[in-house]
């Protein structure tokens, strides 16, 4: 977020820090991961559009920033898909037990 704010300021824009999206909170780990997954899918679509727009505007700095963020979001999407797949294969209780074991 800081990099985006810096870029907006560099381009003489005013970042809007008041407009916040709805926060999705799941009642279970699976629901939370599914909520996070939906946010990632939306973010990736927006970033892909932003990359295209920056490219068309010949704004290399913004395009590179969006591409960098996009790579990170795609990695997070892959992580979430993997976690949801594990929950599907193992069941939520075994998945959680494995996560607790990794943390100790």
- Average pLDDT over every residue of 56-80: 97
**Exposure on the CB side of residue 31, measured as CA atoms within 13 A:** 6
The encoded tokens of residue 43 equal: 């973010």
Write out pLDDT tens, residues 2-61.
888 898 888 888 888 777 667 777 899 999 999 999 999 999 999 999 999 999 999 999
pLDDT of res. 101: 84
**Exposure on the CB side of residue 55, measured as CA atoms within 13 A:** 8
CA-based nearest residue to 87, from 30, 32, 3: 30
Residues 59 and 67: their CA atoms lie apart, in Å, by: 12
Domains of the chain: which residue ranges? 2-103
pLDDT of res. 32: 96
pLDDT of res. 1: 72
104 confidence band (pLDDT: 50, 70, 90): low
CATH of domain 2-103: 1.20.1260.10
Secondary structure class of 91 (helix, strand, coil)? coil
pLDDT of res. 16: 82
């Amino acid at each position: 977020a800081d990099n985006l704010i810096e870029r907006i300021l560099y381009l003489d824009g005013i970042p809007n820090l008041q407009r916040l999206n709805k926060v999705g909170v799941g009642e279970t780990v699976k629901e939370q991961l599914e909520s996070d997954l939906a946010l990632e899918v939306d973010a990736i679509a927006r970033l892909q559009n932003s990359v295209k727009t920056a490219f068309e505007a010949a704004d290399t700095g913004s395009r590179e920033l969006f591409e960098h963020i996009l790579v990170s979001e795609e990695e997070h999407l892959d992580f979430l898909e993997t976690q949801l797949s594990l929950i599907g294969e193992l069941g939520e209780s075994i998945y959680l037990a494995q996560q607790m074991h990794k943390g100790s």
